[in-house]
Chain A
Amino acid sequence: MKKRILIVEDDTFLRELYAELLEGEGYEVVTASDGSQGLIRMREGGWDLTLLDIMLPVFDGFQLMKMVKDVPPEKPLGPVVYLTNLSDEDSRDKGMEQGSREYWVKSQLTPGLMLQKVKAALIDYK
């Protein structure tokens, strides 16, 4: 069965790039471009991996995580990785507190590295 990956990312170019990259590897990719769409998708649950941006329109990544934690979806949400450009410690620590497993800094990842990390994460959090 295809692994289902949710990408919540407001930047169209990046969103489409990640989608293309991961689909190219044979994953089922669903995207959301802002906080409200992301919330809807996250409430569906059952994702093998969620790549969640932090700075998003409507609700930011932290708020989304909190809302999903307060009202858990029927199916388990699955592992969430913050995928962001907010690289400072405060954001990272906050991200960890909110229950995300990892905190990836987009600008520090090449698409190749990103793919490796996704693969590793899918194996780790299976």
Chain B
Amino acid sequence: MSILNQLNFDIVLLFFVIGVNTLLAFFVFQNNPRSSTNRVFGMLSFVTSFWLFTMYVSSRGVDIYNQLLWMRLSIFFAVPQAVLFYFLAKTLPSGKLEMKETPLILIFTATIFVMALTLSPLVFADMVIINGSPAPLIGPAISIFSITVVVFSFLALFTLVRKISSSRGIARQQLKFVFYGMITMLGLIIATILIPVAVFNNSFFVSFAPLYTFIFLGATAYAIVRHRLLDIRTLVARSVAYTIFVIIIGLAYSGSIVLASQYFLGYSIGMSNVMLLTIVTLIVAYSYNPLLRKVEKFTDRIFYKDRYDSHELLRKVGKVASSTLELEELAELIIVIMLRSMKISTGHLVLVKQHQVIWQFGTDHHQKLKHPIQDKDVFELIQGAIHRRGDNILLVDEMAEGSLKTLMKEYKISVLYPLQVEKKTIGMMYFSEKLNGEIFSTEDIHMFNIISSEIAVAIKNSLQYEEIKKFNITLKQQVEEATRDLRHANQQLKALDKMKDDFVSVASHELRTPMTAIKSYLWMAMAGKGGKISDKLKFYLGRAYTSTDRLIKLVNDMLNISRIESGRITIELDKVDLVALTQEIIDEIKPRVDELKLTIKLNKKTDEGSQVDHVLADPDKIKEVIFNLIGNSLKFTDPGGIIEVSFKKEGTHIITFVKDDGRGIDESDMETLFTKFGMLPGSYATNKKASGTGLGLYISKSIIEIQKGKMGVSSEGVGKGSTFWFSLPVFMPSDKKRISADKNDKLGIIHSGF
């Protein structure tokens, strides 16, 4: 074997790179066979190993014929290598090959085609000796091969550049290093191998290929070590330690065999035997760990059912999150689900608010655990996780030595991540190591990432629910308190209201007594009881008398309003003959009407000529209303005017109209008319006959409305008279029962005149 005899730098580098490459391919693929990135990387490393080997052999070929074959093989492997670079770039950093089927098939077919082409004489036709060294004779299809390799290499670089610009954080750092490695390697390969071989037939740099590949591997390795690309950092670390361990064992073993055979057995074993034994031992030692892990995995599958379905886990957590709002129940269910699925021994949940730890909860698979973490440590851990570059997960295996790592070790925390809702930290979750002693995989970390936000939202909802629950209790207490206060206030108000009524009653009585005295003495004077008086004096006394009368009415009206508004007015419904009632009033006020030279007409039949139906009302109250309306008409109608009372049936109501041809009302004033003190401006000042309190219509309307009627006014305008009307329900035979039987005789209800 002439190649193995040439132990120079070239071959050492070649085998070192191929060895590292193959190991890397194996580890990366093993670590996460589901990730496209890991798969493509594995394939790439594998293909690269072949490529390096064939290239090396081709440059050191034994004879021309063999050299042609190796040369063809080397470019045969160069084709998938370029394509795989492109695919690798495509899968970073998500781990998924996001490509449609059609372009995939196209690329695949093209790759196979070009690969087949490289083995034919169309690319390398033959080998010739140029200047004493062998060189390939280029065929016509070399350009197809070159273009394919260059295009895919550039596509790979272009994809990486695009991904770098669109990503941030740790992904960006990883991509950058892969990019640097790739561009350096591809650039060097194209510039020093592809172009010289294809264009100048110069294969001088071919032996440097392993070095170029090593640059790429170095960059990738740096990305791995520094930025946890492909999640094999811990694996690599372990493997290095393991390899050193194996080498030490191997040396100790072979050394001890040699020494033992020489000193104890007295003869020396042949060097070849020692070598053979050592190699076998090393193989056994080296395969011990992977083998053990395989066996463990197998037993785990039986006893733990090690692999979990991430979708299933997410579904379960989601179900729990929507099933309960009770904080403790929620926390326990979520943690237990995670422990069971991911095979972790214990899990804890800590909630914080502002700068206080408000709640801690921990459990293993069976029972609640104590929560040993001190408040200040909780915040140190949360801050440590939040301020970590990239994702917010603290993995004790991957952290550099420091206070944070010491803290995590102290509390036996393997994984820790904060719970955040809308960038607000509400707490953290942490877990101990896995039950089977394995490290947390990319899948696990990915799961923590997804689940943490989901849990955070669920916990937040639950907290709000707890708050609402607490708030409800306080609210209930407050409502009860307020109700008590209100009840007390109500009692006080009732007492006050009674006091007010009593006061109004007493005050009106006390006011009326002296006013009655004034009025009565004035009347005596005017009636000539104290001797004859002059006309002028009589005029003065008359005005004093009218004013006193107005005062008394005002006091009476106020008393009435106080009663209406406090709902203490008593209405005694009865069958009322409106025509008879009106006639009674007209008879009563006839002297006054004559005095004012007015005429009152009463239409005893409705407009349609039928009898006026009786109504259901309180006769005394209705009499007051009619008095009031006719009284108003008297005040505002000039001598010679006519006041007309008529009736009309409309549906179930009888409408009473009191029409005059007096001064009328402007439409804009109609609304104020029925309000309290709703006298029209100047209405009394311009009319000496008019004296009123401004409360009459308000009281009348209130009285009518209490008796289920309506009241209103219409006027053609100022100077054209006005028509006041009110409606009352028609008396029905069924109303009889409602009228109380025990009626006292109503005698001597005396109204003041006008």
Tell whether A and B belong to one assembly: yes
Please give the residue numbers on chain A whose beta carbons come within 8 Å of chain B beta carbons, in ascending order: 11, 13-14, 17, 20-21, 24, 55, 81, 84-90, 93, 96-97, 101-113, 117
- How many Å from the CB of A6 to the closest CB on chain B? 18
* New A-B contacts (10) at CB < 8 Å, excluding given A17-B524, A106-B513: A13-B514, A20-B529, A85-B512, A85-B513, A104-B750, A105-B750, A107-B515, A109-B516, A110-B523, A111-B527
Q: Is the CB of B505 within 8 A of A88?
A: yes
> Is residue B556 contacting chain A, with contact meaning CB distance below 8 A?
yes
> Is residue B539 contacting chain A, with contact meaning CB distance below 8 A?
no
> Is residue B744 contacting chain A, with contact meaning CB distance below 8 A?
yes
Contacts of A105 in B (CB 8 A): 750
Q: How far is the CA of A76 from the CA of B45 in the complex (A)?
A: 137
**Residue of A13, A101, A102, A109 touching B521 (CB-CB under 8 A):** A13
Q: Is the CB of A112 within 8 A of B512?
A: no
Contacts of A103 in B (CB 8 A): 747-748
Q: Is the CB of A89 within 8 A of B556?
A: no
Contacts of B570 in A (CB 8 A): 89-90
Q: How far is the CA of A106 from the CA of B548 in the complex (A)?
A: 13
**Residue of A17, A24, A97 touching B520 (CB-CB under 8 A):** A17
- How many Å from the CB of B576 to the closest CB on chain A? 17
Q: Is the CB of A102 within 8 A of B748?
A: yes
Q: How far is the CA of A113 from the CA of B591 in the complex (A)?
A: 13
Q: Is the CB of B505 within 8 A of A86?
A: yes
Contacts of A85 in B (CB 8 A): 508-509, 512-513, 516
Per-residue contact bits, chain B 482-523, to A (CB 8 Å; 1 contact, 0 not): 000000000000000000000001001100111111011101
**Residue of A89, A101, A117 touching B750 (CB-CB under 8 A):** A117
Chain B residue with the shortest CB-CB distance to A11: B513
Q: Is the CB of B516 within 8 A of A14?
A: yes
Most B Cβ at <10 Å: residue of A11, A93, A103, A111? A111
> Is residue B610 contacting chain A, with contact meaning CB distance below 8 A?
no
Q: How far is the CA of A9 from the CA of B394 in the complex (A)?
A: 101
Contacts of A89 in B (CB 8 A): 570
Q: Is the CB of A110 within 8 A of B520?
A: yes
Q: Is the CB of B559 within 8 A of A88?
A: yes
Q: Is the CB of A111 within 8 A of B750?
A: no
- How many Å from the CB of B592 to the closest CB on chain A? 13
Contacts of B556 in A (CB 8 A): 87, 107
Q: Is the CB of B747 within 8 A of A108?
A: no
Q: Is the CB of A107 within 8 A of B744?
A: no
Contacts of B524 in A (CB 8 A): 17, 21, 111
Q: Is the CB of B529 within 8 A of A24?
A: yes
Q: How far is the CA of A117 from the CA of B749 in the complex (A)?
A: 11
Q: Is the CB of B512 within 8 A of A106?
A: yes
Q: How far is the CA of A17 from the CA of B523 in the complex (A)?
A: 11
Q: How far is the CA of A37 from the CA of B557 in the complex (A)?
A: 34
> Is residue B552 contacting chain A, with contact meaning CB distance below 8 A?
yes
**Residue of B514, B523, B751 touching A108 (CB-CB under 8 A):** B751
Most B Cβ at <10 Å: residue of A14, A17, A85, A112? A85
**Residue of B517, B519, B745, B751 touching A11 (CB-CB under 8 A):** B517
Q: How far is the CA of A109 from the CA of B523 in the complex (A)?
A: 11
Give the interface residue-count category, chain B: 20 to 34
Q: Is the CB of A104 within 8 A of B513?
A: no
Contacts A88-B559, A101-B747 given; does A111 touch B516 at CB 8 Å: no
**Residue of B505, B517, B747 touching A13 (CB-CB under 8 A):** B517
> Is residue B752 contacting chain A, with contact meaning CB distance below 8 A?
yes
Contacts A17-B521, A85-B509, A85-B513 given; does A107 touch B552 at CB 8 Å: yes
Q: How far is the CA of A14 from the CA of B520 in the complex (A)?
A: 8
Q: How far is the CA of A105 from the CA of B620 in the complex (A)?
A: 15
Contacts of B753 in A (CB 8 A): 110, 113
> Is residue B563 contacting chain A, with contact meaning CB distance below 8 A?
yes
Q: How far is the CA of A112 from the CA of B508 in the complex (A)?
A: 23
Contacts of A81 in B (CB 8 A): 748
Contacts of B523 in A (CB 8 A): 110-112
Contacts of A13 in B (CB 8 A): 514, 517, 521
The 10 closest A-B pairs by CB, nearest first: A102-B748, A85-B512, A13-B517, A108-B752, A107-B512, A107-B516, A107-B552, A106-B516, A85-B509, A110-B523
Q: How far is the CA of A15 from the CA of B556 in the complex (A)?
A: 22
**Residue of A14, A55, A104 touching B748 (CB-CB under 8 A):** A104
- How many Å from the CB of B746 to the closest CB on chain A? 9
A-contacting residues, B660-707, CB 8 Å: none
Q: How far is the CA of A117 from the CA of B751 in the complex (A)?
A: 12
Contacts A86-B505, A88-B563, A117-B750 given; does A96 touch B744 at CB 8 Å: yes
Contacts of A111 in B (CB 8 A): 520, 523-524, 527
A-B contact pairs, 13 of them (CB 8 A): A17-B517, A17-B521, A81-B748, A88-B563, A96-B744, A97-B744, A104-B748, A106-B516, A107-B515, A110-B753, A111-B520, A111-B523, A112-B523
Chain A residue with the shortest CB-CB distance to B570: A89
Q: Is the CB of B519 within 8 A of A110?
A: yes
Q: Is the CB of A109 within 8 A of B517?
A: no
Q: Is the CB of A14 within 8 A of B517?
A: yes
Per-residue contact bits, chain B 539-552, to A (CB 8 Å; 1 contact, 0 not): 00000000000001
Contacts of A96 in B (CB 8 A): 744-745
Q: How far is the CA of A86 from the CA of B508 in the complex (A)?
A: 8
**Residue of B744, B748, B752 touching A93 (CB-CB under 8 A):** B744
Q: How far is the CA of A108 from the CA of B552 in the complex (A)?
A: 8
Per-residue contact bits, chain B 579-619, to A (CB 8 Å; 1 contact, 0 not): 00000000000000000000000000000000000000000
Contacts A14-B520, A104-B750, A117-B750 given; does A112 touch B527 at CB 8 Å: yes
Q: How far is the CA of A28 from the CA of B555 in the complex (A)?
A: 34
Q: How far is the CA of A55 from the CA of B519 in the complex (A)?
A: 20
- How many Å from the CB of A101 to the closest CB on chain B? 7
A-contacting residues, B43-81, CB 8 Å: none
Q: Is the CB of B520 within 8 A of A108?
A: no
Q: Is the CB of A87 within 8 A of B559?
A: yes
Q: How far is the CA of A90 from the CA of B529 in the complex (A)?
A: 36
- How many Å from the CB of A99 to the closest CB on chain B? 11
Contacts of B509 in A (CB 8 A): 55, 84-86
- How many Å from the CB of A10 to the closest CB on chain B? 9
Q: How far is the CA of A36 from the CA of B512 in the complex (A)?
A: 24
- How many Å from the CB of A86 to the closest CB on chain B? 6
Most A Cβ at <10 Å: residue of B516, B527, B529, B556? B516
- How many Å from the CB of B530 to the closest CB on chain A? 10
Q: Is the CB of B750 within 8 A of A113?
A: yes
Q: How far is the CA of A17 from the CA of B521 in the complex (A)?
A: 7
Chain B residue with the shortest CB-CB distance to A109: B750
Q: How far is the CA of A17 from the CA of B745 in the complex (A)?
A: 30
Q: How far is the CA of A90 from the CA of B519 in the complex (A)?
A: 26
Contacts of B505 in A (CB 8 A): 86, 88
A-contacting residues, B551-573, CB 8 Å: 552, 555-556, 559, 563, 570
Contacts of A86 in B (CB 8 A): 505, 509
- How many Å from the CB of B291 to the closest CB on chain A? 109
Q: How far is the CA of A55 from the CA of B352 in the complex (A)?
A: 75
Contacts of B516 in A (CB 8 A): 14, 85, 106-107, 109
- How many Å from the CB of B497 to the closest CB on chain A? 16
Chain A residue with the shortest CB-CB distance to B545: A110
Q: How far is the CA of A20 from the CA of B753 in the complex (A)?
A: 23
Q: How far is the CA of A89 from the CA of B564 in the complex (A)?
A: 13
Q: How far is the CA of A106 from the CA of B556 in the complex (A)?
A: 12
Q: Is the CB of A108 within 8 A of B750?
A: yes
